[in-house]
Structure formats: C-alpha cells, structure tokens
Amino acid sequence: MNERTMYELRKLGFYTLIFIVVVWMGLPLVVSTLYAFGTPDDYYDPNKVIPLHFTFETVKMLLFTLGGWEALKNSVIVATLAIIISFILGLPAGYSIARFIFPGKDSIKLGMLALKIFPVHIMAVPLVILYIRLHLLDTRLGVALAHSAGALPLVVLITASIFAGTSAELEEAGMVFGLTRFQSFVKITLPLSLPGLAAAAMFTFVGSWNEVFAASVLTFKHRTLPALMLTLMETAPDYYKFAAAFIMAFPAMVYVAVARKYLISMWGIAIK
C-alpha cells in the first residue's frame, strides 16, 4: 500500500468516525421531534419507520389538558427567580474575587469549587423538613431557592473570571474622574461584561430548567416541567413521551443555537 492510499484511507476513517458520532448524537433528536408530531397510528404501525401524518394533538393535550403549560410557566418562573437570586448574591462576590486581594480569598474560591462538585440538589430531602416549617414547601420560591443555591458557586466563579477579563484600569480611570467605585462599576465594567454575564445567566436558566430531583421532592402541585413529566410519564402511552421530550428539549435546542459561541467560550474553546 503506497502513501497516497494510506492517506486516503485515513481520511475516510476520520470522516466515518465523525459521521458516526454526529449520527449518534443528532439522529435521536430528529427522530423524536418527528414522532412528537406524528400520529399515534403511525407510531404503532410497524411499517412506518418515519411518521408520515402529523398532528399537534399530542403536544396540545400535554400542554393544555395535562398541565404542561402550567408546569412550563412554573419552570420559567423558577429559573428566572434562580437567576435573579444567584446573580444578586453572586455578582458582588465575583466582583470582589476579581478585583481585590485579601486573606482567605483562595480558601473561598476552593470552597466554591468544592460546593460546585457537591450534589446540592440532594440537600432537597432535608430541605423538605425546613420548608414545611417555613411554609415554602410546594412553592415556586422554594424550588428557586434550592436551584439558586446549586447555581450560586458557579455564578461566583464564572462572574469572577468575566470581571477579571475586563480591564480594572478603565474602572479606576472613572474613579479618578469623580465616580464612586459603585458608579464606575455600573457605568463601565457592567456594560463591558454584559455578554459574558448573559451567557452565564442562560447557563443558570438551563440548569434550573433541567433540574428534576429537587423540583420533584419539593413540590407536588406546583411542579416544574421535568418534575411533572416524570410523574406523567409513568402512566402515559408511549407516543406522549416524545411530545414531552420535545417540549422539554425545544428551549435547550434554541439555547444551543443562539448561545453556541458563548457556551463554548465559557469553557475556553475558540471556534474559528
């Protein structure tokens, strides 16, 4: 075998690998989306590999008869509250880590990292007892509080790195010209770091949107979308499952499409 065929073979092998990976990752998304709008008859017809008749009935049923729409609203409210809480608390902390040198800073950073690797949502079980006492059980605020506790360490670390990436000199220049540190932060650093902060906020949103354990344990009437689907799907017919998957996955897919660049750059990957 000469070098040219070797090269061609290797190239073929490489593209085959990529092809397999992409099909493995992508095909389930396409197929389940098609089935979400396929008719039940097509699904149970063994000769129809891909549904040919489409309907909104199943999605409508899930959203408007089985409580999907309420749950979706709950999910949005919980995730939004989680962003607000974790950012109100996390932004100052992140700023402090980015701009000041002080004793104990490294331990705090390490502590945040340790909490990040700790499965915070598991804490939801003892939270149940606390929430009964505080009348927070089965409330959106209760779930949001738990979710923001899970997101907060990451928000602190990410915002710290975002603020560290904006120049401290500009802020100091603002202070020289008579702004207070706070004004300087609001007028100079905040606008500069807005795209990064938006990406971090979206990440928080997706984290809360997807979280199911705490949401299921802490609510029974005001369930978020994943928590509702978890209970519904124990008894629902099969074709409902794809519609449910679509409703849950759709925002995530949109998010990836919109925020792909930020999502990747958050992990330090440069796309060319």
Residue 68 contacts another protein per CB under 8 A: no
Residue 96 contacts another protein per CB under 8 A: yes
Write the interaction track for another protein spanning residues 183-212; mark x where CB under 8 A is met and - where it is not.
Answer: -----------------------x--xxxx
Q: Report residue 8 as tokens.
A: 């061609």
Q: What phi, psi does 54 have (nearest 5°)?
A: -115, 150
CA distance 107 to 246: 43
Residue 32's identity, in one-letter code, is S
* From candidates 25, 65, 176, 221, binder to another protein by CB under 8 A: 25
Orientation angle between helical segments 68-99 and 140-165, nearest 10 degrees:
40
Distance in Å, CB of 247 to another protein, minimum = 9
Q: Report residue 10 as tokens.
A: 């290797």
Which residues ranging from 215 to 234 are in contact with another protein (CB under 8 A)? 216-217, 220, 226, 229-230, 233-234
* From candidates 61, 115, 179, 190, binder to another protein by CB under 8 A: 115
Distance in Å, CB of 48 to another protein, minimum = 7
CA distance 173 to 171: 5
63/89 with CB nearer another protein: 89
88/194 with CB nearer another protein: 88
Q: Is 38 helix (H, G, I), strand (E, B) or coil?
A: strand
Which residues ranging from 32 to 61 are in contact with another protein (CB under 8 A)? 32, 35, 43-44, 46-50
* From candidates 9, 28, 52, 167, binder to another protein by CB under 8 A: 28
5/47 with CB nearer another protein: 47
139/210 with CB nearer another protein: 210
CA distance 154 to 203: 10
Q: What phi, psi does 139 have (nearest 5°)?
A: -120, 155
The residue range among 56-64, 76-84, 186-194, 247-255 that interacts with another protein, by the rule CB under 8 A, is 247-255
Distance in Å, CB of 68 to another protein, minimum = 13
Distance in Å, CB of 272 to another protein, minimum = 7
Q: Report residue 196 as tokens.
A: 């990064």
Q: How many alpha carbons fall within 13 Å on the CB side of residue 257?
A: 6
Which residues ranging from 122 to 181 are in contact with another protein (CB under 8 A)? 122-130, 145-146, 148-149, 152-153, 156, 175, 181
Contacting residues for 138 by C-beta, under 8 A, at least 6 apart: 218, 219, 220, 221, 222
* From candidates 7, 8, 56, 92, binder to another protein by CB under 8 A: 92
Distance in Å, CB of 113 to another protein, minimum = 8
Tally of CB atoms within 10 A around 79 = 29
Stated as kind and residue range, the H or E segment containing 125 is: helix 124-134
How many chain residues bind another protein (CB under 8 A)?
97
How far out from the chain centre does Cα 213 lie? 15
